[in-house]
Structure 1
Amino acid sequence: MEGTHTMPETITPAPAVPPTPPVPLQALLAREDLALRQIAGPADPGTVIHGAHTSEMTDPSPYLLGGELLLTAGVHVPKEAEPEGYFAGYVSRIVAGGGAALGFGVAPVHDTVPPALVAACEQQGLPLLEVPPHTTFSAVARAVWQLMAQARLAELRRVTEAQQSLAAAAARPDPIPSVLRRLSQHLSGRAVLYGPDGTEVAGAGRETPPEVRAALAGLAGVVRPASHPAKAPAHPASATDTHGGVHLAVYALGAGEGFVLGVAGRRREAGDHTIASVAAVLLALLTGEHHSGAGAARSSALVRLLLGAPPEEVAPLLGAGRRLVVHARPEAQAPDPVAASALGAALGSPLVDLAGETVRVLVPADRVPQPQPGWTLGVSAPAEPREWPAADTQAARALARARATRVPLLRHAARPALADLVPAADAETHARTLLAPLAGQPALAETLRAWLSLHGSWDRTAVALGVHRNTVRQRVARCAALLDTDLDDPDVRMELWFALRRG
């Protein structure tokens, strides 16, 4: 195999949207309004660009992310420089920085593209475009973004249609074969479901050579959980590889039942991972419910709760042991049920609650939640069932702090603290007395807590609470007035923080 790439945890959630597809260089050259002309470098139809960047620096490489069309008018070229040596070094730095192509603007500095630059690009395999005088760099950049927007829209439409098609397939009388069949059609390849023992349970799509089938089955073993998970390291959620020009990808299904989805195809588009991830979520739900009977247990637990049973009595139906509460919010748009289910699968739990813009997941305490792409997470301390409401509050505050500090995951601190040295009853009495002026005004108390936890940052507190920074200032000033204290005094802050944690 050419190289296996894995991702940790149970399953990779499908991102809300696929990554932006790159733009073929040939598509940009085909724009007649730009009149660009390639004069050096390989004319490879597979050359793509991920953006356009203008720079007149002698060494632009530190500012390149990779895949850019770099635009220059040659202002940076010293008059006394020896052309061959200068341009050879200049082009080599662009190539080293990952530049995909170079566009040279003719006029006002140079009447023609320097021959030494043409030779350097030809020698080092960097496509060189001549930008005519009437074409501005802004027009080139705008054309690149337009082409990227068109490609993204087409890919989003493809992914949306695939999601609807897969969901419809999952509702058919034969859901697993139907989902595999639709997935293979959307990816123009082969889709296979492997059982816990590694055998092929079902498959659909184009037949692949025996060596490719063997490579895909072997790759599935990378993400399949060990038979004794307590003794084995955490298995990855997905893995990719290439064998004989065929792209391979596998996805672990559910919370460790051992089912694996495998796909093989000759091409790999930007939205393929999103489509396969949606199929993996659907198959995880189908195989998980059938394999473990967890759906019946959850239904029984829900009925008992509705009929008045306390959480600690119902909890054994959901699995023994303590739980973590995870609050999560996507970075882009509001979550939908598919994205919420995918997140739950990634965290290893089917106990998911989609409430507005926040997803709540009840995770077994022996699983350690890891950052998830496209999500911000707040994690509580491990809690017994009777402590779950308090853990829910911990997770909510951890999420607010994570969003304010712009970190992907924040855990509630569960280590022993100074407050543990004070008897709980005495600490609570002191907290009630100190915070009495704020009684009946939860917005003020919560703002003060957030402001203290974020070291007095107005902006971060505003982000955490979802209000304007001036609102934060007004509330904190009101707290200072009601408490009749100086909030700039570190001793006062410490005492208030102690009280807010106990109150």
Structure 2
Amino acid sequence: MKPTVQTLLDRPELGLGLLTPAVALPDGALDAPVVWAHSSDLADPTPFLDAGHVLLTTGTQFADGAAADAEFAESFVQRLRERGIAALGFGTEVIRAGTPETLIAACLAQGLPLFEVPYRTPFIAIARTVADLIAEDAYARQAWALSAQRAISLAALRPDGLSATLAELSHRLGAWVGLIDATGSLDREAPEGGLAQPALGEVVGEARSMLRRGQRASRTLLAAESTDAPQRMTLQTLGGGGALRGVLAIGDSAELDQAGREVVTSVIALAGLALEQNRDLDRARGHLRSGLLSGILAGDTTLAERVSAEMWGPLPEPPLRIMVTDAPLTQADRLTELLELRVEERGGRLFFGRDDEQYVLVVEESDAPLAEEIATEFELPVGVSDPVGGGAVAQAHEQALRALDRARESGAGVVNFDEISRQGVLAFLARTDARAVALATLAPLTEHDAANGTSLVVTTRTWLERGGQFDATAQALGVHRHTVRSRIALAERLLGRDLSGFHARADLWAALLAVE
């Protein structure tokens, strides 16, 4: 432990006497760490001092009339306080006998510890004591760091090395340690339940933000276990930029000095290595899943059922839904970890695999909300099929692909196939490839409306919506039925087609749908 003002006062060989009673000083004033001891008799020595120094003076600046000058003493002490001086030591019997009362009063008023240095104690003895204590502390901290790193390295060799490593780090720091995985979920912590809400929620929320950004980073967060007691938390990403594997969160600890940070750095390296090894295993499992998925989509589930039962659990039971989403490289690892976690939670009963640039999920009907979770967490489009029996997986896959196409076009997070099917077959004509044809088909009407201020497109659409009924169209548009008749006749001439037949009307209606 670094030396403090109290440490110096407790050294009998120095014989220092506190002139400002402890009860009259601010809380913790005597426990302030001392980083050096410096002697000066300048009227303003602050340019040569740093925070945490102890200033030693023989009082030359207080000789003659200055000793009785309270204003000088107050300004002198104020400058020391502003500089962050830990304490002031006054050497007596060198320039003057005793310590000036004005200086004692100024130190009491401004809360600066003041002690008297007897004539027999040279200032160099105080400086040497401080230096020796600092060296002892540095050696002790280095020994602590080596011992901690040795213990953590041994913990990493245990069966569950990652959990053992975090537990040992927590023990050495005397602080809560948590690992948030790539999905943004608390994967493990030490001690168990050591961080309560709402602080835990704040830590996990900040970790998720760091993971979404996808860049290596560290953050300091003041997480409130209660409104009166915020706790300082340190968060550090694990893994390389663009392929983050998680976030290590560490609670506030007095051990987090330079030596403590070195220990944390070693844990980050060990945890990163462990997670990278898991990543390689995940990739191997991913290739296996992709191969099994091909068989499932082809209708041959025999091999998939046997392998899945051995590795993850049974396949989902019908009725089934197929979900399809994109698999961008920046999101693939996080999405895989989320899906692996959901498989583990369900003891199987959910299968997924990668199919080219997409993820395909085979889920039970009750797992439909998983699509919304994926869309929200990863900001990806998701297409979902209708519920089907086990023999219609290929058909459901095609439905999910069509729903995914619509989700991409509309910008909607999740699109269910039944939303499309309810719109009818003509709704599929409203796609990019049909739009150009539709615009060309309607061009005679739109150009006439633009040039003459007419409303042939609106009239034609309203007329078709009402089954070609002139009276109903006129009532809807607020015009005479003869006006509607003349407009439709003009539209027929411009389009070059007779709209009295079903096929012509259906073709025109499809064109109107496609341009919307």
TM-score between both structures, scaled by the size of structure 2: 0.49
Give the structure 1 partner of residue 249 of structure 2: 262
Give the structure 1 partner of residue 114 of structure 2: 128
Q: Which runs of 5+ in 1 are unaligned?
A: 1-20, 297-318, 320-503
| Separation in structure 2 between the aligned mates of residue 294 and residue 106 of structure 1, nearest angstrom | 74
* Equivalent AA in structure 2 for residue 117 of structure 1: L
Give the structure 1 partner of residue 235 of structure 2: 250
Q: Percent same amino acid at aligned positions? A: 27
Q: For 1:253, what is the secondary structure of its paired residue?
A: strand
Q: Is 1:84 the counterpart of 2:70 in the alignment?
A: yes
RMSD across aligned C-alpha pairs, in angstroms? 2.6
Q: For 2:60, what is the secondary structure of its paired residue?
A: coil
* Aligned positions of 1:355-374 closer than 5 A: none
| Separation in structure 2 between the aligned mates of residue 225 and residue 66 of structure 1, nearest angstrom | 38
Q: For 1:56, what is the secondary structure of its paired residue?
A: coil
| Separation in structure 1 between the aligned mates of residue 282 and residue 37 of structure 2, nearest angstrom | 51
| Separation in structure 2 between the aligned mates of residue 198 and residue 191 of structure 1, nearest angstrom | 16
* Aligned positions of 1:335-414 closer than 5 A: none
* Aligned positions of 1:479-494 closer than 5 A: none
Give the structure 2 partner of residue 399 of structure 1: none
Q: Is 1:46 the counterpart of 2:31 in the alignment?
A: yes
* Aligned positions of 1:236-315 closer than 5 A: 236-239=217-220, 241=222, 243=224, 244=229, 246-256=231-241, 257-265=244-252, 267-270=254-257, 271-292=259-280
| Separation in structure 2 between the aligned mates of residue 197 and residue 294 of structure 1, nearest angstrom | 14
1:118–1:128 CA contact under 8 A, matched in 2:
yes
Q: Structure 1 residues 64, 218: closer, same or farther in 2, change over 3 A?
A: farther
Q: For 2:212, what is the secondary structure of its paired residue?
A: coil
Q: Is 1:169 the counterpart of 2:162 in the alignment?
A: no
Could you give the per-residue CA deviations for residues 417-439 of structure 1, whole angstroms, max 9, x where no partner exists? xxxxxxxxxxxxxxxxxxxxxxx
Q: For 1:254, what is the secondary structure of its paired residue?
A: strand
Q: Structure 1 residues 165, 107: closer, same or farther in 2, change over 3 A?
A: same
Q: Which has the higher contact order (CA 8 A, sep 6+)?
A: 1
Give the structure 1 partner of residue 3 of structure 2: 23
Q: Choose the corresponding residue for 1:178, options 164, 185, 191.
A: 164
Instruction: Name which one, 1 or 2, has greater alpha-carbon Rg.
Output: 2
The alpha carbon displacement at 1:235 in A equals 5.2
1:247–1:268 CA contact under 8 A, matched in 2:
no
Structure 1 runs (4+) greater than 4 angstroms displaced: 292-296
Q: Is 1:33 the counterpart of 2:33 in the alignment?
A: no
Q: For 1:49, what is the secondary structure of its paired residue?
A: coil
Q: Is 1:55 the counterpart of 2:40 in the alignment?
A: yes
1:24–1:49 CA contact under 8 A, matched in 2:
yes
| Separation in structure 2 between the aligned mates of residue 49 and residue 242 of structure 1, nearest angstrom | 30
* Aligned positions of 1:63-78 closer than 5 A: 63-77=48-62
| Separation in structure 2 between the aligned mates of residue 173 and residue 35 of structure 1, nearest angstrom | 56
Give the structure 1 partner of residue 345 of structure 2: none
Q: Choose the corresponding residue for 1:190, options 157, 171, 176.
A: 176
2:32–2:52 CA contact under 8 A, matched in 1:
no
Q: Structure 1 residues 183, 127: closer, same or farther in 2, change over 3 A?
A: same
Q: Choose the corresponding residue for 1:210, options 160, 173, 197.
A: 197
Q: Which runs of 5+ in 2 are unaligned?
A: 285-328, 330-516
1:219–1:239 CA contact under 8 A, matched in 2:
no
Give the structure 2 partner of residue 95 of structure 1: 81
2:173–2:253 CA contact under 8 A, matched in 1:
no
The alpha carbon displacement at 1:294 in A equals 11
2:184–2:208 CA contact under 8 A, matched in 1:
yes
The alpha carbon displacement at 1:221 in A equals 4.5
| Separation in structure 2 between the aligned mates of residue 67 and residue 241 of structure 1, nearest angstrom | 25
Q: For 1:70, what is the secondary structure of its paired residue?
A: strand
* Equivalent AA in structure 2 for residue 205 of structure 1: P
* Equivalent AA in structure 2 for residue 103 of structure 1: G
Give the structure 2 partner of residue 433 of structure 1: none
| Separation in structure 2 between the aligned mates of residue 30 and residue 269 of structure 1, nearest angstrom | 27
| Separation in structure 1 between the aligned mates of residue 45 and residue 279 of structure 2, nearest angstrom | 56
| Separation in structure 2 between the aligned mates of residue 219 and residue 60 of structure 1, nearest angstrom | 45
| Separation in structure 2 between the aligned mates of residue 112 and residue 136 of structure 1, nearest angstrom | 16
Out of 74-83 and 250-259, give the one that drifted further: 74-83
The alpha carbon displacement at 1:295 in A equals 12
2:63–2:95 CA contact under 8 A, matched in 1:
no
Q: Structure 1 residues 131, 235: closer, same or farther in 2, change over 3 A?
A: same
Q: For 1:163, what is the secondary structure of its paired residue?
A: helix
The alpha carbon displacement at 1:261 in A equals 0.6
Larger helix percent: 2
| Separation in structure 2 between the aligned mates of residue 135 and residue 219 of structure 1, nearest angstrom | 54
Q: Structure 1 residues 255, 293: closer, same or farther in 2, change over 3 A?
A: farther
The alpha carbon displacement at 1:25 in A equals 1.8
| Separation in structure 2 between the aligned mates of residue 145 and residue 106 of structure 1, nearest angstrom | 23
Q: Structure 1 residues 134, 152: closer, same or farther in 2, change over 3 A?
A: same
* Equivalent AA in structure 1 for residue 96 of structure 2: H
| Separation in structure 2 between the aligned mates of residue 90 and residue 132 of structure 1, nearest angstrom | 22
1:61–1:96 CA contact under 8 A, matched in 2:
no
The alpha carbon displacement at 1:268 in A equals 4.3
The alpha carbon displacement at 1:78 in A equals 5.1
* Aligned positions of 1:389-468 closer than 5 A: none
Q: Is 1:114 the counterpart of 2:100 in the alignment?
A: yes
The alpha carbon displacement at 1:218 in A equals 3.8
| Separation in structure 1 between the aligned mates of residue 114 and residue 206 of structure 2, nearest angstrom | 40
Q: Structure 1 residues 221, 28: closer, same or farther in 2, change over 3 A?
A: farther
* Equivalent AA in structure 2 for residue 255 of structure 1: G
Q: Structure 1 residues 220, 136: closer, same or farther in 2, change over 3 A?
A: farther
Q: For 2:104, what is the secondary structure of its paired residue?
A: helix
Q: For 2:251, what is the secondary structure of its paired residue?
A: strand
Could you give the per-residue CA deviations for residues 314-351 of structure 1, whole angstroms, max 9, x where no partner exists? xxxxx9xxxxxxxxxxxxxxxxxxxxxxxxxxxxxxxx
* Equivalent AA in structure 1 for residue 85 of structure 2: G
Could you give the per-residue CA deviations for residues 404-463 of structure 1, whole angstroms, max 9, x where no partner exists? xxxxxxxxxxxxxxxxxxxxxxxxxxxxxxxxxxxxxxxxxxxxxxxxxxxxxxxxxxxx
| Separation in structure 2 between the aligned mates of residue 238 and residue 293 of structure 1, nearest angstrom | 29
Q: Structure 1 residues 123, 215: closer, same or farther in 2, change over 3 A?
A: farther
| Separation in structure 1 between the aligned mates of residue 3 and residue 232 of structure 2, nearest angstrom | 21
Q: For 1:142, what is the secondary structure of its paired residue?
A: helix
Q: For 1:262, what is the secondary structure of its paired residue?
A: strand
